[in-house]
């Protein structure tokens, strides 16, 4: 699904288990190693100083929040950091998918990719094709769709293989 014109794009699936529902612990699992609940301390790459980060429930993310990438495939929380500190991603868009029946992984990925691409330029101020930034997204899985009524897609922007400092809203790069 990754094309050569896209320097960075990956998706992470949201899953919901019965035990997680009972404990109010929602989790993500996916094809990438993003965001485990036991995030290591974040450090500034320039100074080596530790950056304060707060684990937050992944389903409470909102546009404008910044977060760090970590190792793992299943999580209940994501490491939120102040956007003024170095970070890997910023939530730049979110939307709900329609439908009662789970449409399948491929259909969800197509919808998420298309809508996150549409939301990219209004947030960044330049088209994705002209930008140095890439994007990824969180999408529901069949389990979270049917067991948790999860329809939320969160679009994340970042720099491939680099951290960024500050918001990317309106940077036009």
The residues, ordered by sequence, that sit 6+ positions from 141 with a Cβ below 8 Å of its Cβ are 13, 14, 15, 16, 29, 105
Q: What is the pLDDT of residue 83?
A: 94
Q: Which residues of the chain have pLDDT under 70?
A: 1-51, 70-76
Q: What is the pLDDT of residue 40?
A: 54
Residues 44 and 9 sit within 8 Å (Cβ to Cβ): no
Q: What is the pLDDT of residue 156?
A: 94
What angle is formed at CA 134 by the lines to CA 73 and CA 149, rounded to 5 degrees?
50
Q: What is the pLDDT of residue 166?
A: 96
What is the pTM assigned to this prediction? 0.73
Q: What is the pLDDT of residue 52?
A: 73
């Amino acid at each position: 699904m990754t094309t050569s014109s896209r320097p960075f794009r990956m998706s992470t699936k949201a899953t919901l288990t019965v035990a997680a529902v009972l404990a109010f612990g929602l989790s993500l699992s996916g094809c990438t190693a993003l965001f485990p609940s036991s995030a290591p301390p974040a450090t500034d790459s320039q100074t080596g100083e530790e950056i304060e980060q707060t684990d937050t429930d992944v389903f409470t993310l909102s546009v404008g929040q910044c977060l760090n990438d970590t190792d793992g495939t299943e999580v209940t929380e994501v490491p939120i950091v102040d956007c003024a500190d170095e970070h890997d991603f910023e939530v730049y868009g979110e939307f709900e998918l329609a439908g009662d029946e789970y449409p399948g992984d491929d259909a969800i990925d197509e919808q998420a990719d298309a809508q996150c691409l549409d939301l990219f330029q209004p947030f960044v101020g330049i088209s994705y094709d002209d930008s140095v930034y890439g994007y990824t997204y969180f999408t529901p899985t069949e389990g979270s769709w049917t067991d948790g009524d999860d329809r939320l897609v969160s679009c994340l922007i970042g720099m491939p293989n680099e951290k960024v400092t500050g918001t990317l809203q309106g940077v036009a790069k």
